[in-house]
A and B are shown apart, each in its own frame.
Chain A
Amino acid sequence: MSSTTASAATAGAPQTAGTAAAKKPLSPQGAKRRRQLAQWGFIAPAVIFMALFFGYPLVRNIVMSFQDYSPTTFFTGEAPFNGTDNWSNVFSDGLFGKALWQTILFTVGSLVGQFCIGLALAVFFTRRFPLNGILRSLILLPWLVPMVVSGIVWRRIFDQDTGVLNSFLGTIGLPGDTPWLTSTSMALVSVILVNIWIGIPFNMVILYGGLQEVPKELHEAAALDGASAWRTFRSVTLPMLKPVITVVLVLGFMSTVKILDLVLALTDGGPADSTQTLGTLTYQNSFVQMDFGAGAVVGNILILISAVFAVFYLRVNRNEGK
């Protein structure tokens, strides 16, 4: 309101005065409402988009998990409700428990590996040495390659007979015939290794950024007190880094728990389902067997796990904020 009058006063142009006069009959409340309505116009498209692409699927998945989908459903449009059949079918199938366990192994293994190596590299790069900046940015390159492509490149490297990894191991005198992706005992380990490789750059960048924020004076003070490098790191750096660590781990968890492309490119969930995770199981159920009901059940459980983690994360965050 005040700005309108001000502009009318300074400009003094007849039209400006005219619009100001035209707006006058509106009560202050009406004007406020109008302004708010116009402001909502900026936000509305995003809200609608997110409601359609995130809200709707969440609700729809719950409904779908109680419906009977079959390969013909999308021609006939018929997916009758079948109570809790999908749920009991999924739970009674041993594959679900297996996929759940493998998801846990995959997520925890990947997070621990990514985080530890990422942190070590971040600390390493806080030292000053020639070419530091260039090396640091080049390490990000693996991040640029689409995940499915990374998976395919590693699939080639891991090949038991013709892969470079085994031929390298053979050259240096180690057993060079490990069936990285083709044995049920090794495949999950191999997939985790690749995911660690993928996650290192991200962990490193964020943690490096966090380390830059830790005041140098604290380190100097600790050094003056005679603390060793390791002690300083544990008692000064790590506590200061805690908020950043939480962010890295949460983002890492969210991207790892639902991973699909990497597993499909490396092993397609095999051999003998030994790399099947909840993400791939959802995909298999829905898009390979066209049983969207079963897919929705597994998907809902995946959401539930994420939600539990989200609540936990928000709790931690709130406590820290106060």
Chain B
Amino acid sequence: MATTTQIPAAPAPATVRPKRRWGATVFGLVILAVMLFPLYWMINTALQPDASLVDVGPVPTGVDFSGFTSAITEQGGNLLTSLAVALGAVAICLAVAAPAAYGLAQFKLRGSKTIVFGTLITQMVPGIVIANALYSAYVDLGLVNSYFGLMLADASLGIPFAIVLMRSFMVSIPREVIEAAEVDGAGRIRTFVQVVLPMSRNSLITAGLFSFLYAWSDFMFALTLNTTDEVKPITLGIYQYIGAHVGDWGSVMAASVLSAVPAAVLLVLSQKYIAAGITGGSVK
């Protein structure tokens, strides 16, 4: 943006340019249509009265919310379970990862490089392997079919990423700021809570958002660490739904739409933090 204003742009062939640009827009719209078609089809099917019949119309003519009604009555509880588990996972994740990120970024401790390295390595461990060992440990500890057990497991999906992300942000906090707080008589913990955390707000939001998304879309731990219906997140609910209601695609799709809503809402609300978070976290 800045460069365009600085360069006294040669009076471009204004007659040709705009046309070509709109051509690209049209092409972009086509790409978008193809990419988003499955999501459109999900909503479309959810709104059709006879979604299970052979021909689902390309647009929902007689809009019908019965799919949503039955999805909410049958899957509403699972949505709440997902919400509770994901929020719990985010809380655990931030509580564990934020101090660690700060410590790894600002303290000169022997072994902290190894820990950062270890954090990166954990992201290579396949989840099903973790579930395999965790299940037997959970049986021994009585954590199978418990909200807390699932929150802990889901937090593990976000913690390494959150540490890496927040650390790369906290490295850039000037030492003087932290020293100044200490000169003012703040202890380590107070400095962390009252100075470091507010300064790192953006990276905290991004890390929290991603751990929410990880936990919300978790299916594997939900599937493996629960043997009864007590704790059933929406992902597991929908998966079992197609087993039981193969004919009723309207309700399945309505439940799918509902499962995508919280993530979409969150993302819209925190749009500006995302791009920085993604690139900051992965490229470095």
| Chain A residues at the B interface, C-beta cutoff of 8 Å | 3, 6-7, 10-11, 16, 36, 38-43, 45-47, 49-50, 53-54, 56-58, 60-61, 64, 74, 121, 124-125, 127-132, 135, 137-142, 144-150, 152-157, 161-162, 164, 167, 197, 200-201, 205-206, 209-210, 216, 243-244, 247, 251, 254, 257-258, 260-261, 264-265, 279, 282-283, 286-287, 292, 295-296, 299-300, 302-303, 306-307, 309-310
Contacts of B179 in A (CB 8 A): 3
CB distance B182 to A3 under 8 Å? yes
Please measure, in the bound complex, the distance between the C-alpha atom of A141 and the C-alpha atom of B56, giving whole angstroms.
Answer: 23
Known contacts A138-B32, A162-B55; can you find 4 more A-B pairs with CB under 8 A?
Answer: A45-B95, A53-B134, A145-B263, A286-B131
CB distance from A299 to the nearest CB of B (A): 4
Of the candidates B96, B130, B131, B235, the one whose C-beta lies within 8 Å of that of A148 is B235
CB distance from A260 to the nearest CB of B (A): 5
Look across to chain B and name the residue whose beta carbon is closest to the beta carbon of A257.
Answer: B126
Number of B residues near A (Cβ < 8 Å) is 96
Number of residue pairs spanning A and B whose beta carbons lie under 8 angstroms apart: 274
Contacts of A258 in B (CB 8 A): 126-128
Look across to chain A and name the residue whose beta carbon is closest to the beta carbon of B140.
Answer: A77
6 pairs of residues in contact across A and B, judged by CB atoms under 8 Å: A47-B100, A153-B256, A156-B249, A261-B220, A283-B224, A300-B129
Q: With an 8 A cutoff between CB atoms, is B270 at the interface?
A: no
CB distance B103 to A7 under 8 Å? no
Of the candidates B109, B192, B235, the one whose C-beta lies within 8 Å of that of A146 is B235
Contacts of B217 in A (CB 8 A): 145-149
| Chain B residues at the A interface, C-beta cutoff of 8 Å | 3, 21-25, 27-29, 31-32, 35-36, 38-39, 41-42, 45, 53-56, 95-97, 99-100, 102-104, 107, 109, 112, 115, 118-119, 121-137, 139, 152-153, 155-156, 159-160, 163, 179, 182-185, 188, 192, 213, 216-220, 223-224, 234-235, 238-239, 242, 249, 252-253, 256, 259-260, 263-264, 267, 271, 275, 278-279, 282-283
Contacts of B115 in A (CB 8 A): 43, 46-47
CB distance A206 to B132 under 8 Å? no
CB distance B104 to A57 under 8 Å? no
Contacts of B119 in A (CB 8 A): 50
CB distance B125 to A306 under 8 Å? yes
CB distance from B49 to the nearest CB of A (A): 15
CB distance from A232 to the nearest CB of B (A): 19
Please measure, in the bound complex, the distance between the C-alpha atom of A36 and the C-alpha atom of B109, giving whole angstroms.
Answer: 7
Look across to chain B and name the residue whose beta carbon is closest to the beta carbon of A47.
Answer: B115
Contacts of A200 in B (CB 8 A): 35
Residue picked from B53, B103, B109, B267, most chain A C-beta under 10 Å: B103
Look across to chain B and name the residue whose beta carbon is closest to the beta carbon of A300.
Answer: B129
Look across to chain B and name the residue whose beta carbon is closest to the beta carbon of A306.
Answer: B124
Look across to chain B and name the residue whose beta carbon is closest to the beta carbon of A286.
Answer: B132
Please measure, in the bound complex, the distance between the C-alpha atom of A244 and the C-alpha atom of B282, giving whole angstroms.
Answer: 9
